[in-house]
DNA sequence: GATGAATGAGCGTTCATTCAT
DNA sequence: GATGAATGAACGCTCATTCAT
């Protein structure tokens, strides 16, 4: 009985260890996610290539799970940032959501790349629909949170009436674009601005853009 | 001397012809730029594979030059859209710039993908810093145009005083983010909105966000 | 002692159950016997993969035993078809044997493929000589039945005197060749004939060829 | 000019050399054709794996071409054996065709295996339809030759009227079955007969079976 | 006796790059 | 300057077999 439980635990540990190895390869490489190789992941996890496939269906599945993991952590942070229990003005909620988003991806920019890459290449084909749906669903949940804040703003007369889901999407797009734009040092130099400063300004601009005059 | 000149000219022609072939392959493929192979480019240009490497350092360099070319065309369109000769209000200029940007990438999404990919994969290593800088410089020129329109808006009291270069960057980031966000059908579905509609709304939101109250 | 006997019995049952699972996988697949994997057999038998190897030396051994089983069933059918108890003319016996052979393999072409494959691939190395000999012996028994019918024909003056074992072998070769030839749709098309019609004609031709003039 | 010609020649030589290497791997191995590995072929030809794919589309194509080569040689031998220019009785023609067939495959039994294998596995998918058709066409030409001899026999009253194409197929099936049956030493032992003796007897039996009484 | 996690050699195929001619 | 044949590392994935527990 104990044996069985231990087995189970070890298996889960191994699984995690492969996932961790994948994350390391994925995050370490200066190369970006498409340089993640099953060979490399296996080597880093100190298991054979076959073992990797014992735990995961495909390379893409591993990356998708990695992403999902990230998104779930992100979502938790966003929910925390939203501060549902606190009586906050809508713009403040958006500010907090935006900065939580920033903190998350500033800490792990590769997740951001992975999120962006998810639509491309072999992903849609190689990843089980279920996993794919989970990824999309996590994204949707995050978006819903933003939309909720926008709705609050509209309801309270702070924001102009609008399609709140689109508005949420616009904020999302802006924040993504800001993260991406300044990811490269040369572009930061070009704009002569620090990433966080720029990001905050972008966030404020969109919030301002939603505001009732 | 004449011979030398002719030689030079022929060489340049060959170079252009390879680049043109690369562009054809690049734009033809239904699969995106990462399907561009040196074999195919050489075949299309009717030269040997070796010759391609005689004129270009690497496949990535070719793609970078292609992008540069594209950016230059984009810049021309932006300049046209800016309408320097016409007496236009600043917000209208931004609107025109934004839609020219949209039109360009809607017509050739591959360029957008290439632009996004530029920071990643083998590009940073395989592309000479000089070429890289040229790409950035083309971006800068575009940005300057946007900044100029913002400056006009600030000067005329339409927009709030601000760091115009940052403001231009914010608009840019938003538009890029919007293009990227909606590139994938599933995300379009998720937002329940058409790409152009969303893009326009994002553009308006940022313009609004810049406006003086 | 009783325990020992029970153990023995259980072991045999387990063995049979694995073999049955293997047969199911073997006959299920649309893809032929080379799609049989140990994983699948183990899963179907609801035992671990290790257990499979506890009872059988190799995958090839399992397949060989499967074939042996099949051949034994075939032999039973041939004996029935022979109709030892009935007073039949020799040619009729051959006809019945031939058609029983056809029916067997038409119903389970995989067995035929396996029989053909037996000499090839990893089989000769991976299968114990003993098992191999058993397979051959089963074939011999079938052959003996055919030879017996031929002998009857010779004795009764219906067939020309000949080496009856060779004659039986010739019939066997013809029937095998016919089955194999027409297994592929394209070759059926090429000959413009249906499998059973062709097979019957082949059977008759050889019977005729054995007949006294 | 000479250079060009030499290049061409060398290329053809290389191609042949890879094909020869493939044949060696294919014929040498005790393993049968499905153990033919691109790695092995490349090693034997002393080229890199990539080079193999420079000359051939796929492994299956190589094997198909090998087979085609064999079939063409076989066909030439059959035509010679048929002796169109000589005034031969139909049964003698069949005898000569049959023995030419035997000689060919006795000398290179692997070709026989390859021919049989051609219908299976990845062949139909992995081989260009054109090559596939050529293989079938070569088979058909051989069959036509046999059918022609049978027709002659029917016309001359030596053979019973019959569907000559089916009759040719029956002979073919018998000969194939005989070759296959006795390929394995253990089966030869089992029948207590030498391969050629058996084969001749089978050939005679079918000829006899076609004969008018 | 039974398990099932782990192995690792093996597969066919691709393609950017090099270099002898 | 131009060629194009050759390279070879890399890729994701499979599966029969082993062995510590």
What is the 3-state secondary structure of B121-151? CCHHHHCCHHHHHHHHHHHHHHHHHHHHHHH
User: What is the C-alpha separation between D175 and D194, in angstroms, rounded?
Assistant: 15
HEC profile of D154-182: HHCCCECCCCHHHHHHHHHHHHHHHHHHC
State whether residue D7 sits within 8 Å of chain C by CB: no
User: D16 pLDDT exceeds 80?
Assistant: yes
pLDDT confidence of C202, banded at 50, 70, 90? very high
Task: Please give the biggest Cα pair distance in chain D.
Answer: 68
**CA–CA separation, D60 and B75 (whole Å):** 51
**A48's torsion region: left (phi>0), alpha (psi -120 to 50) or beta?**
beta
Domain at A59-210, CATH from 2.40.50.180, 3.40.50.300, 1.10.357.10, 3.30.1490.270: 1.10.357.10
CA torsion sign, B174 to B180 to B181 to B182?
Answer: positive
Q: How far is the CA of A34 from the C1' of F9 (A)?
A: 17
Average pLDDT over residues D132-150: 91
* Three-class SS state of B211: strand
Sorted by where each begins, the domain ranges of chain A are 1-56, 59-210
Judged by DSSP in three states, A120 sits in coil
- Interatomic CA distance for residues C114 and C173, integer angstroms: 16
Burial of D86 (0-12, 13-18, 19+ CB in 10 A): exposed
Picking from A109, A32, A184, A110, the residue whose alpha carbon sits closest to that of residue B133 is A184
Half-sphere exposure in the Cβ direction for B164 (13 Å, CA): 18
The residue to which tokens 């596939």 are assigned: D132
pLDDT band at C191 (very low <50, low <70, confident <90, very high): confident
What is residue A47's DSSP assignment?
Answer: S
Give the range among A40-54, A163-177, D162-176, D183-197 with minimum mean pLDDT. Answer: D183-197
Q: What is the mean pLDDT of each run of 10 residues along chain A (213 residues)?
A: 72 92 78 76 93 93 90 94 95 98 88 74 70 85 96 97 96 95 83 92 98 88
The pLDDT value given to residue A179: 93
Q: Cβ separation of A169 and B176 shorter than 8 Å?
A: no
How would you class A88 by CB atoms within 10 Å of its CB: exposed for 0-12, middle for 13-18, buried for 19 or more? middle
Q: Is the pLDDT of residue D1 over 50?
A: no
Contact of C209 with D207, CB cutoff 8 Å: yes
Per-residue pLDDT reduced to its tens digit, B52-82: 999 999 999 999 999 999 999 999 999 999 9
Least reliable range by pLDDT among C91-100, D56-65, D150-159? D56-65
Residue with tokens 């991976």: C126
Mean pLDDT, rounded, for B90-108:
96
Of C167 and C132, the structure prediction assigns the larger pLDDT to C167
pLDDT of res. D39? 92
CB atoms within 10 A of CB B20: 15
Could you give the CA distance from residue A114 to residue A67 in angstroms, rounded to a whole number?
Answer: 7
Quote the CA–CA distance of B153 and B199 in Å, as a whole number.
21
Res. C8 pLDDT band, cuts 50 70 90: confident
**More confident call, A16 vs C185:** A16
Distance CA A30, CA B85 (A): 46
Evaluate the CA torsion angle D155, D160, D166, D167 in order and state its sign.
Answer: negative
What mean pLDDT value characterizes chain D?
88
Binding partners of A (≥3 Cβ pairs within 8 A): B
Residue B73 has φ and ψ, to the nearest 5°, of -65, -40
- HSE, side-chain direction, 13 A CA sphere, residue D182: 26
What residues of chain C lie within 8 A of the CB of D113, using their CB?
A: 120
The answer to whether residue C209 neighbours chain D at the CB level (below 8 Å) is yes
More confident site: C173 or B117: C173
| Integer angstrom CA distances of residue C67 from C58, C60, C114, D53 | 14, 10, 7, 39
Distance in angstroms (rounded) separating the CA atoms of residues B151 and D44: 72
Spatial distance between the Cα atoms of B101 and A82, rounded to a whole number of angstroms: 34
| A181 and A187 Cβ atoms separated by less than 8 Å | yes
- Average confidence (pLDDT) over B137-149: 93
Contact (Cβ atoms closer than 8 angstroms) between residue B131 and residue B61: yes
As a rounded value in angstroms, the CA-to-C1' distance for A42 and F13 is: 13
Q: Report whether B110 contacts B33 (CB < 8 A).
A: yes
Residues A25 and A37: beta-carbon distance below 8 Å:
yes
Q: Where does the pLDDT of residue D30 fall: very low under 50, low under 70, confident under 90, or very high at 90 and above? A: low
3-state helix, strand, coil in chain D (%, to 5): 80, 0, 20
In a 10 Å sphere around its CB, with 0-12 CB exposed, 13-18 middle and 19+ buried, how is residue D3 labelled? exposed
> Candidates 1.20.58.220, 1.10.357.10, 1.20.1050.10, 3.40.50.300; correct CATH number of D58-210?
1.10.357.10
pLDDT given at position B31: 62
The whole-angstrom separation of Cα D38 and Cα D47 is 11
> Is C118 in contact with C166 (CB distance < 8 Å)?
no
Alpha helices in C89-163 (DSSP H): 90-107, 109-117, 123-126, 129-155
**Chain-centre distance for alpha carbon A54:** 27
Share of chain C above pLDDT 70, in %: 98
Entry field: residues in chain D: 213
Distance CA A40, CA A67 (A): 18
- What is the phi/psi pair of residue B30, to 5°? -80, -5
Residues 61 to 120 of A: which have CB under 8 A from any B CB? Answer: 113, 116, 119-120
Residue C121 CA and nucleotide F18 C1' are separated, in Å, by 22
Token pair recorded at residue A153: 């703003």
For the residues of C169-191, what is the DSSP string, one character each? HHHHHHHHHHHHHTTSHHHHHHH
The answer to whether residues C134 and C69 touch, using CB atoms and an 8 Å cutoff, is: no
CA distance A138 to A130: 12
Nearest CA in chain A to B133: A186
Chain centre to alpha carbon of residue D181 = 17
Residue C102 has pLDDT above 70, yes or no: yes
Tell me if residue D106 falls in helix, strand or coil: helix
DSSP state of B201: H
Do the beta carbons of residue A143 and residue A169 sit within 8 Å?
yes
Proximity of residue D116 CB to strand F below 7 A: no
Q: Residues of C with CB below 8 A from D32's CB? A: 120-121
CA-nearest of D137, D158, D180 to D94 is D158
DSSP C35: G
Cα→Cα distances A112→A31, A183, B112, C97, D197, Å: 14, 10, 18, 72, 76
Give the position of tokens 């993908």.
B113
Both tokens of A75, joined, read 């979502």
What pLDDT score was predicted for residue A80? 96
Residue A33: predicted pLDDT: 63
Model pLDDT, residue A36? 84
Nearest-angstrom CA–CA distance, A193 and A186: 11
Instruction: Please tell me which of B15-29, B83-97, C106-120, D6-20 the model is most confident about, judged by mean pLDDT.
Output: B83-97
User: 């051949």: which residue's tokens?
Assistant: C71
DSSP label of B105: H
Residue B177 above 60 pLDDT?
Answer: yes
Q: Is C61 exposed, middle or buried (0-12, 13-18, 19+ CB in 10 A)?
A: middle
Is the Cβ–Cβ distance between A174 and A94 less than 8 Å?
no
Query: Residue C64: its pLDDT value, please?
Result: 93
CA of D42 to C1' of F7 (A): 12
Q: Considering only residues A12 and B122, tell me which one the structure prediction assigns the higher pLDDT.
A: A12
- The pLDDT confidence band at residue C19, using thresholds 50, 70 and 90, is very high
Closest to B178 in 3D by CA, of B141, B146, B209, B204: B204
Task: Give the mean pLDDT of D133-145.
Answer: 89
State which CATH number among 1.10.357.10, 2.40.50.140, 3.40.190.170, 3.40.50.2300 fits the domain covering B60-210.
1.10.357.10
Instruction: Look at residues B41, B59, B40 and name the one whose alpha carbon lies nearest to residue B123.
Output: B59
Q: Considering only CA atoms, name the residue closest to the C1' of nucleotide E19.
A: B50
Report the neighbours of D using a cutoff of 3 or more CB pairs below 8 angstroms. Answer: C
The pLDDT value given to residue B30: 67
How many CB atoms neighbour CB A7 within 10 A? 10
Residues from chain B that touch A35, judged by Cβ atoms under 8 A, are 121
Q: Give the pLDDT band of residue B165 (cuts 50, 70, 90).
A: very high
Question: What mean pLDDT, rounded, does chain C reach?
Answer: 91
Q: Is B184 left (phi over 0), alpha (psi -120 to 50) or beta?
A: beta
Residues 162-201 of D with CB under 8 A from C: 163, 165-167, 169-170, 172-178, 180-181, 183-184, 186-187, 190-193, 197-198, 201
> Residue C31's pLDDT is what?
61
pLDDT of residue C29: 62
C23 pLDDT above the threshold of 50: yes
- Mean pLDDT, rounded, of chain B: 91
C170: left (phi over 0), alpha (psi -120 to 50) or beta: alpha
* Intrachain domains B1-56 and B60-210 with the same fold: no
Kindly indicate the confidence band of residue D33, based on its pLDDT and cuts at 50, 70 and 90. Answer: low
pLDDT beyond 60 at D68: yes
> B1-56, superfamily in CATH?
Homeodomain-like (1.10.10.60)
């Amino acid at each position: 009985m104990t044996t069985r439980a231990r087995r189970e635990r070890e298996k889960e540990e191994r699984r995690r260890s492969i996932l961790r190895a994948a994350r390391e390869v994925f995050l370490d490489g200066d190369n970006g996610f498409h340089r993640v190789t099953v060979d490399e992941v296996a080597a880093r996890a100190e298991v054979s290539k076959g073992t990797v496939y014992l735990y995961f269906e495909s390379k893409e599945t591993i990356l998708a799970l990695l992403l999902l993991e990230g998104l779930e952590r992100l979502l938790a942070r966003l929910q925390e940032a939203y501060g549902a229990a606190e009586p906050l003005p809508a713009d403040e909620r958006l500010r907090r959501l935006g900065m939580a988003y920033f903190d998350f991806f500033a800490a792990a920019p590769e997740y951001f790349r992975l999120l962006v890459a998810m639509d491309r290449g072999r992903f849609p084909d190689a990843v089980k629909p279920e996993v794919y749906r989970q990824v999309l669903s996590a994204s949707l949940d995050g978006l819903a949170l933003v939309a909720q804040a926008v709705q609050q703003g509209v309801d309270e007369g702070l924001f102009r009436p609008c399609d709140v889901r689109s508005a949420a999407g616009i904020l999302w797009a802006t924040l993504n674009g800001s993260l991406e734009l300044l990811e490269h040092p040369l572009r930061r130099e070009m704009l002569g601005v620090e990433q966080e400063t720029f990001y905050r300004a972008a966030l404020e601009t969109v919030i301002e853009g939603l505001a009732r005059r």
